[in-house]
Amino acid sequence: MNFANLSFDFGVGITLHTYLVLSAALFCIGLVAVLARRNAILVLVGIELMLSAANINFIAFWRFGAHPEEMVGVLFALFSIAVAAGEAAVGLALIILVYRHYKTINPSQFRSLNG
Amino acid sequence: MNSPLFFLSYFVLSALVLVTAMAAVSFRNLVHCGLSLAFAFLALGAFYILLGAEFLGFVQILVYVGAVAVLIMFVILLAKPGVEERRWGWRDLVGRFAGVGVSLAVFLALLISVFRSPSLAVKAPEAPVFSIAVLGEKLVTEYVLPLQATGLLLTVAVLAAVIFASQEVTKK
Amino acid sequence: MLEDKSIYPDLREGRRVVRPGGKREAKPLNFPARRPWLTLGLAGAAGVFGALVGVAVLLFLMEWLKPGFLGEGCFLYAALADLDRAPAILLNGFLAYIASFVPVPPILLGILSALIVIGVLIGVFLSLFALTSVVERKVLARIQNRYGPNRVGPCGLLQPVADGVKMLVKEDIVPAGADRVVHFFAPVVMLVPALLVLAILPYGPGLVPMELSVGILFFFAMGATTEVAVFMAGWGSTNKYSLLGAMRAIAQMISYELPLIVSAVAVVMLAGSLSPEKIVETQAGYWAGIVPAWFVFTPWGFAGFLLFFIAAQAESNRSPFDLPEGESELVAGHLTEYSGFKYATFFIAEYVGLFAISGLAVTLFLGGWYAPSPLLAFIPGYIWFFVKLYSLVLLAIWIRGTVPRVRIDQLMEFAWKFLIPMSFVVVVAAAVWHYSGGGFLGWVVCTPLLLVPYLLFGSAFAKKFAPSGRVYRYSQG
């Protein structure tokens, strides 16, 4: 009855390079959001995407590394997910706070220091 | 595994990740950005599963799609920025082109450095058995300190978020 | 909880129709109403007879297709000999039978097998949905001293067909200001995870459609994605009620996911596995030969089951936690702007979600496919599984009929100040139970460990929300 016998294995033609290129592309998409968008929420989105690119790297190196049974890459990615979730919560709370104060979330408008 | 199914799912999933991520940073309507981000995280979770880390893939979906993306959409609604205004000053335009240019430069640099290191052109070893038991054991023995630190960090983050968000109430 | 939109035919029940020509009263329709059980029995007998005829025809066809096939080693005999695993044997035998005279590559055979399993799962759960939609209305009607639907078919059993036709031919309205793409995809995104989670439930020994070592996590991950669908429905409609309803629904789902997951963690901890099949297998056997060794019959398991069941009601938007769709405040919440087939899709997703989460409760706490007594173990496991699942669904209907809807502040405080702390206490109690070795010592230690926090949290909670004396400003002078 178990029809899901697509064991999650590795393709012969796929090397570590392909994963690194994918993660580099994802990282740069995140970087575009951080540098080019005029919106604090999208900056946060970009940071999340960059962290995800780092996670792809952790897992790809774990999978292709010499000692996958040590699980170091997976553990790193697990901690990174947890920390990213906390970062998102605090970052979004900060954005709400900034919005209440400046009535905008365009980061280039946060100029005055006087409260 | 040299199965065509694997290749197919690999290319479909990577295309999905890149397209949804690009959509997430380029829509003008912020809610569309948030929704695309949710789907990008979903595709990323599937990608981890394809890489053999099933546990991590489902954790990714649970945390990112169920919590982070939804939180971002909540904030989008609360902060009501809606659609980004079309008006662009020259400063904004320069900023945008500079940003895209810098990102492309970084991408090219990464690409060159990846392809110039031949030691990376390795095939994966036999599929390791992803054991959650081993993962759990390592978490509470070898990595117990990072685990506790993460717990502390999350607690502080929750408290900070609550205090930030409730400031308006306490002022009154 | 979705609103029962087709309630009006019930109101006509019992009214005598006077024909315009004369004074003679029309005879009430008495065939189904007077002898419902006779009708049902006849229909059942006809169904069994039809199934037997069908099997006979199938056997004949097989014999005719391949002479000598129905020999001693035929899979049909094997299926009859081992009723517990009959569905798997039938499926594998059927595939082997096809492969024996059509050269099919194994990957196509795998896809065919998957398609058959998917078809059977969707068929079973959609018919269960159709049955529940009429059973729920009838049970609620009995609780409220009404008849319920009894016009379409014997005892109103064909009501789902009428409802389905009605839903399909209704106009599909999209609000002018709606975000058309998001509005269109919300029901799809809602239904897909609800159907996906059915794949990991263990319906019987060896009857797991998708053996996943992290099945429980898969279930919760898919449950989390429905939040996105609710958001899409609420935001895409561009309606204040929809948006408010969606915000409430998401806040509620996030809050009640925590006790749901944490009480499941207690089970995962003691079973030592995230695989649903392994969790059921650890609940095999009977204590003293009488009491089944299910987790619900341990102190922590009982408390965990109650927490899980309450949180499951909130997760699937059932009464008394159905305020995202509370009609008195929000029309129909995020479903306000949906009609026709899209509304039906939400309806199906909600009920399939209820079945799935009840199935998970059965897997985690009620011993999955195991019989409640060794004397009844001859009944196949999948029947036990569905009996347990459906009794939980009936319990949910009973709760819907008796408990009034809670207020939004009560809802949130109940989750954060009662359910979540209690579920952590359950995890601690499970650990204590494990290290005390279970048995009498475990009961002695765990019971106070659970009862004292329950009384503390419960009394604090009850004090806050107890109804105070009502003051009538104008009538009491």
Domain harbouring B76, CATH code: 1.20.120.1200
Phi, psi at residue B131, to the nearest 5°?
-105, 120
d(CA A108, CA A95): 13
Closest CA of chain A from B96, distance in Å: 4
Average pLDDT, chain B: 81
Whether the pLDDT of residue C423 is over 90: the answer is: yes
The two counts, helices (H) then strands (E), for chain B are: 8, 0
d(CA C8, CA C1): 18
* A10 near C CB under 8 A: no
3-state per-residue secondary structure call for chain C: CCCCCCCHHHHCCCCCCECCCCCCECCCCCHHHHCHHHHHHHHHHHHHHHHHHHHHHHHHHHHHHCCCCCCCCCHHHHHHHCHHHHHHHHHHHHHHHHHHHCCCCHHHHHHHHHHHHHHHHHHHHHHHHHHHHHHHHHHHHHHCCCCCCCCCCHHHCCHHHHHHHHHHHCCCCCCCCCCHHHHHHHHHHHHHHHHHHHHHCCCCCCCCCCCCCCHHHHHHHHHHHHHHHHHHHHHHCCCHHHHHHHHHHHHHHHHHHHHHHHHHHHHHHHHCCCCHHHHHHCCCCEECCCEECCHHHCHHHHHHHHHHHHHHHHHCCCCCCCHHHCHHHHCCHHHCCCCHHHHHHHHHHHHHHHHHHHHHHHHHCCCCCCCCCHHHCCCCHHHHHHHHHHHHHHHHHHHHHHCCCCCHHHHHHHHHHHHHHHHHHHHHHHHHHHHCCCHHHHHHHHHHHHHHHHHHHHHHHHHHHCCCCCCCCCCCC
Residues of C with CB under 8 A from a CB of A: 87-88, 91-92, 110, 113-114, 117, 206-212
Domain finish residue from B86, B119, B145: B86
* B37 near A CB under 8 A: yes
With contact defined as 3+ CB pairs under 8 Å, the chains touching A are: B, C
Q: Which domain holds residue B43?
A: 1-86
* A80 near B CB under 8 A: no
Contact criterion met (CB below 8 Å) for C362 and C309: no
When pLDDT is averaged across residues C71-100 and rounded to a whole number, the result is 73
| End-to-end alpha carbon distance in chain C | 41
Closest CA of chain C from A86, distance in Å: 16
* Domain co-membership, B82 together with B137: no
Question: Which of B103, B126, B156, B163 would best serve as a mutation to test chain A binding (most A beta carbons within 10 A)?
Answer: B103
Predicted local distance difference test score (pLDDT) of residue C64: 60
In chain B, positions 127-156, which contact chain A (CB-CB < 8 Å)?
A: 127-130, 134-135, 138-139, 143, 146, 150, 153-154, 156
Q: Where are the domains of chain A?
A: 17-109
Cα distances (Å, whole numbers) of residue C209 to B101, B115, C317? 49, 42, 27
Predicted local distance difference test score (pLDDT) of residue C12: 44
Cα angle, residue B104 at apex, residues B99 and B105 outer, rounded to 5°: 100
Q: Where are the domains of chain C?
A: 171-461
Cβ distance of A1 and C208 shorter than 8 Å: yes
pLDDT, one tens digit per residue, over B6-25 is 777 888 888 999 999 988 88
d(CA C396, CA C350): 13
Q: Who among A17, A48, A97 is closest to B164 (CB)?
A: A97
When pLDDT is averaged across residues C199-205 and rounded to a whole number, the result is 87
Q: Which residues of B touch A48 (CB under 8 A)?
A: 37, 64, 68
Buried b (16+ CB within 10 A) or exposed e, C123-134: eebeebbbebbb
Predicted local distance difference test score (pLDDT) of residue A50: 92
Task: Indicate whether B106 belongs to any domain.
Answer: no
Cβ distance of C220 and B62 shorter than 8 Å: yes
* B13 near A CB under 8 A: no
Cα distances (Å, whole numbers) of residue B131 to C213, C261, C398? 9, 21, 42
pLDDT-based confidence at C9, cuts 50/70/90? Answer: very low
Task: Indicate whether B120 belongs to any domain.
Answer: no
Q: Is B18 helix (H, G, I), strand (E, B) or coil?
A: helix
Q: Who among B49, B107, B161 is closest to A90 (CB)?
A: B161
With contact defined as 3+ CB pairs under 8 Å, the chains touching C are: A, B
Contact criterion met (CB below 8 Å) for C259 and C427: no
Predicted local distance difference test score (pLDDT) of residue B149: 92
Residues 6+ apart with CB under 8 A from C34: none
Q: Which residue is it, tokens 């774990």?
A: A62
Domain count, chain B: 2
Cβ distance of C107 and B5 shorter than 8 Å: yes
Domain finish residue from B27, B60, B86: B86
Whether the pLDDT of residue C265 is over 80: the answer is: yes
Q: Is B130 helix (H, G, I), strand (E, B) or coil?
A: coil
Q: Which residues of B touch C222 (CB under 8 A)?
A: 61
Q: Which residues of C touch B54 (CB under 8 A)?
A: 212-214
Predicted local distance difference test score (pLDDT) of residue B41: 92
Q: Is B83 helix (H, G, I), strand (E, B) or coil?
A: strand
* Domain co-membership, B74 together with B144: no
3-state per-residue secondary structure call for B25-61: HHCCEHHHHHHHHHHHHHHHHHHHHHCCCHHHHHHHH
Average pLDDT, chain C: 81
Predicted local distance difference test score (pLDDT) of residue A12: 46
pLDDT, one tens digit per residue, over C273-304 is 888 988 998 888 888 778 888 888 888 889 99
Cβ distance of A3 and C87 shorter than 8 Å: no
- Residue in A closest to B165 by C-alpha: A93
Whether the pLDDT of residue C36 is over 50: the answer is: yes
* C402 near B CB under 8 A: no
Predicted local distance difference test score (pLDDT) of residue C465: 72
Whether the pLDDT of residue C17 is over 60: the answer is: no
Peptide bond into C292 cis (omega under 30): no
Predicted local distance difference test score (pLDDT) of residue A51: 92
Cβ distance of A64 and B41 shorter than 8 Å: no
Closest CA of chain C from A85, distance in Å: 14
pLDDT, one tens digit per residue, over B37-81 is 999 999 999 888 888 888 888 999 998 988 888 888 888 887 765
Predicted local distance difference test score (pLDDT) of residue A5: 41
Report the sign of the C-alpha dihedral through residues B64, B67, B71, B73, in that order.
positive
pLDDT, one tens digit per residue, over C342-387 is 888 988 998 999 999 999 999 999 988 888 888 887 888 888 899 9
ipTM of the shown complex: 0.84
Task: Indicate whether B97 belongs to any domain.
Answer: no
* A3 near C CB under 8 A: yes
When pLDDT is averaged across residues A33-61 and rounded to a whole number, the result is 87
| The pair of three-digit structure tokens given for residue B91, joined into one six-digit string | 């400063």
Q: Is B143 helix (H, G, I), strand (E, B) or coil?
A: coil
Contact criterion met (CB below 8 Å) for C366 and C279: no
* C210 near B CB under 8 A: no
> Which of the two residues, A49 and A6, has the higher pLDDT score?
A49
Phi, psi at residue B83, to the nearest 5°?
-100, 135
A17-109, CATH topology level:
Helix Hairpins (1.10.287)
* Domain co-membership, B2 together with B80: yes
Among the residue ranges B43-52, B89-98, B162-171, C283-292, the one predicted with the least confidence is B162-171
